[in-house]
Amino acid sequence: MKLIMKFGGTSMAGPERIRHAAALVTDALRQHHVVAVVSAMDGVTEELLAIADHAEAGDRTSVEQTLSQVRSAHESTADTLGCLAETRELLARLESLATGIMAVGECTPRSRDAVVSFGERMSTRFMAAALGVASGRPARGFDGGDAGIVTNDHFGEADPLMDISLLQVRDRLAPLVEARTPIVVAGFIAQTQHGVMSTIGRGGSDYTATILGAALSADEIHIWSDVDGLMTADPRLVPGARLLSHLTFAEAIEMGKFGAKSMHPRALEPAAEHGIPVRMRNTFKPDNPGTLIGSAVGQPDARRPGESAVRSVPMLKNMAMITVGGAGMIGRPGTAAALFDALAVARINVHMICQSVSEAGISVVVSMAQLDRAKAALERSMRPFIGVRTAHIGSRGDAAAGTRVPHGIDVVPNIAIVAPVGSGMRGVPGVVARIFTAVASRNLNIIAIAQGSSELSVCFAVDKDSGPEAVRAVHDEFDAR
Ligand code: ASP
Ligand code: MG
């Protein structure tokens, strides 16, 4: 088999864990063709981002403090693994970059990507060193860009240019994979067409792994982390939550952005498109089979015996709903286009959309972190449609809200989105009724509802304090598995 084995930050946290991961790769190399992909050591990406922020703010003391934390963690690991010289060289480059940013007092997204890339670059050296020892053969290390992944220049969350990336990766790595050379690729980082370092979004090492998998026509992509796999619910909310042994791509993509240890939202795309199964595995329990996404056997989207209609009940916290309303929107083509265009230009991620047939209002759900920017963008651009008036209504609703025709921009902060997912919901009457009856029986108020025509999931918004109970209500009702 041809395998991609991706190790997350907790699997790379310290020399012992790195050696353990290298041993797993070495084992696999005995029977398979393997490419390892690595993340930065746990917490390092956050530290590097903090260095960029402190440097931009000219806060030399904090830059030095954080740099010295990064330095000591990496130097001690490098020393143990025998790659101290090259690690020191990278650390020195990181330091001069931070000094440069302090000098100009500005950190562009491009410079920030350069700073944050060092985590994965150092991890790659570590894994290559450990793998060299474990396998007895010198390992080859690549940055994502050197491996052939090319992106646009949207620094911070650059989009891979897929066709050229797949070709280049195949060209550069396939012969080495064929020869069973131990290969390590830095996740998360890539290069623009002009050879400038870019990153592909937080959690992007998963995406790197699936891009490599697609390029090399891998048989399976293994995502190693410190959890057993995907669950029917967050076990902190639902004590009876179970591990899911398998999921279809459609279900997993639907669940993609939920959950404590979720994958990069786009990571499953290349795998699904090329039909390559992704297996989530626990580095510390390598005998567990984990969760298999996409099936190696049978029809990929068929329901299997014993599965419940709702297979998982993920929840998104820290959300807000913005409703843009006004009689001026009714029957007026272009309103929705203007609204979504304004949000797109402001780079706001919309999580959920509702419009009633009266057309008097459109509601969108965004994260609390993006709320102010979203609201400002809508106030600017929707003025011709609605005039502007912004009101904050509590998430439990206020008395007036129910009687008022929506007009202007209403904001409901602090909501949670609950999104029961399952391919067994499709075409089965009564599932939605069961979901809402279960929620109603716990006396919880639903603020908004959306269902995509895929019928794979239903999303509903509730007050943030009602979220956990709503998850339990649906999980219990369907006995999710
Ligand atoms: N190190 C990056 C992050 O923490 C990428 C990754 O871990 O996948 O976001
Ligand atoms: Mg990470």
pLDDT (0 to 100) of residue 216: 98
Rounded mean pLDDT of 365-373?
Answer: 96
| pLDDT at residue 311 in the model | 93
Average pLDDT of span 243-249: 90
Query: Which of 54-63, 305-314, 323-332, 380-389 is modeled with the greatest confidence?
Result: 54-63
Mean pLDDT of the chain: 91
Judged against a pLDDT cut of 60, whether residue 299 lies above it is answered with: no
Give me the residue label for tokens 């979901």. Answer: 435
Query: Is the pLDDT reported for residue 396 higher than 50?
Result: yes
Cα dihedral 465, 466, 468, 469 in deg (nearest 10): 140
Res. 406 pLDDT band, cuts 50 70 90? low
Query: Which residue has a Cα nearest atom 5 of ligand 1?
Result: 203
Burial of 356 (0-12, 13-18, 19+ CB in 10 A): exposed
Residue closest via CA to ligand 1's atom 8 equals 203
Ligand 1 binding pocket mutation candidate from 44, 118, 188, 225 (most atoms within 8 A of CB): 188
Say what percent of the chain tops pLDDT 90: 75
Number of domains in the chain: 2
* Pocket perturbation via mutation, ligand 1, pick of 74, 112, 120 by most ligand atoms within 8 A of CB: 120
The tens digit of pLDDT for each residue in 54-108 reads 999 999 999 999 999 999 999 999 999 999 999 999 999 999 999 999 999 999 9
Instruction: Name the residue with tokens 């000591």.
Output: 72
Kindly report, residue by residue over 100-157, the tens digit of the pLDDT: 999 999 999 999 999 999 999 999 999 999 999 999 999 999 998 999 999 999 999 9
Q: Is residue 427 part of a domain?
A: yes
Same domain, 25 and 133: yes
pLDDT at position 390 is 66
CA of 202 to the centre of ligand 1 (A): 5
Question: How many angstroms does the Cα of residue 309 sit away from the middle of ligand 1?
Answer: 33
Name the E strands within 114-177.
140-142, 150-151
Q: What is the mean pLDDT of residues 266-295?
A: 92
User: Residue 61: which domain range?
Assistant: 2-226
CATH number at residue 35: 3.40.1160.10
The whole-number pLDDT of residue 428 equals: 84
pLDDT of residue 120: 98
Q: Give the pLDDT of residue 260.
A: 43
- pLDDT over threshold 80, residue 360: no
Give residue-wise pLDDT tens across range 201-221: 999 999 999 999 999 999 999
Does the pLDDT value for residue 403 go beyond 70? Answer: no
- The backbone torsions φ and ψ at residue 33, rounded to the nearest 5 degrees and listed phi first, read -95, 130
Q: Is residue 10 part of a domain?
A: yes
Mean pLDDT, rounded, for 382-397: 69
What phi and psi, each to the nearest 5 degrees, are found at residue 71?
A: -65, -45
| Residue after which a domain boundary falls, among 201, 226, 251 | 226
Three-class DSSP category at 209? helix
Model confidence pLDDT, tens digit, residues 432-447 = 999 999 999 999 999 9
Q: How many angstroms does the Cα of residue 50 sit away from the middle of ligand 2?
A: 14
Residue 304: inside a domain, yes or no? no
Q: Give the chain's length.
A: 481
Query: Ligand 1 — pocket residues by CB below 6 A?
Result: 8-9, 39-40, 45, 119, 187-188, 202-205
CA 119 to ligand 2 center in whole angstroms: 9
Q: Domain with 469 in it: what CATH number?
A: 3.30.2130.10
pLDDT value of residue 300: 46
Per-residue pLDDT, averaged over 313-323, amounts to: 94
Q: How far is the CA of 479 from the centre of ligand 2 (A)?
A: 32
CA–CA–CA angle 367, 453, 278 (5° rounding): 70
For residues 214 and 319, state if they share a domain: no
The CA-atom distances, in angstroms, between 464 and each of 208, 241, 364, 435 are 34, 20, 16, 18
Residue of 7, 202, 211, 261 best suited for mutating to test ligand 1, as the one with most atoms within 8 Å of CB: 202
287: Cβ contacts below 8 Å, ≥ 6 apart? none
263 alpha carbon, closest ligand: 1
Q: Which of 226, 259, 276 is the last residue of a domain?
A: 226
Ligand 1 atom closest to the Cα of residue 206 is 8
Say which ligand is closest to the CA of 123.
1
Residue 54 lies in a domain: yes
Nearest atom in ligand 1 to the alpha carbon of residue 119 is 1
Residue identified by tokens 């108020």 is 445
pTM: 0.85
Among 11, 38, 39, the mutation site with the greatest number of ligand 1 atoms within 8 A of its Cβ is 39
Of 194, 226, 258, the residue that ends a domain is: 226
In a domain, 298, yes or no: no
Nearest ligand atom owner, CA of 202:
1
pLDDT value, residue 334? 85
Which residues make Cβ contacts (< 8 Å) with residue 424, sequence separation at least 6?
Answer: 303, 307, 308, 309, 310, 311, 431
Helix, strand, coil distribution of the chain in percent, nearest 5: 45, 20, 35
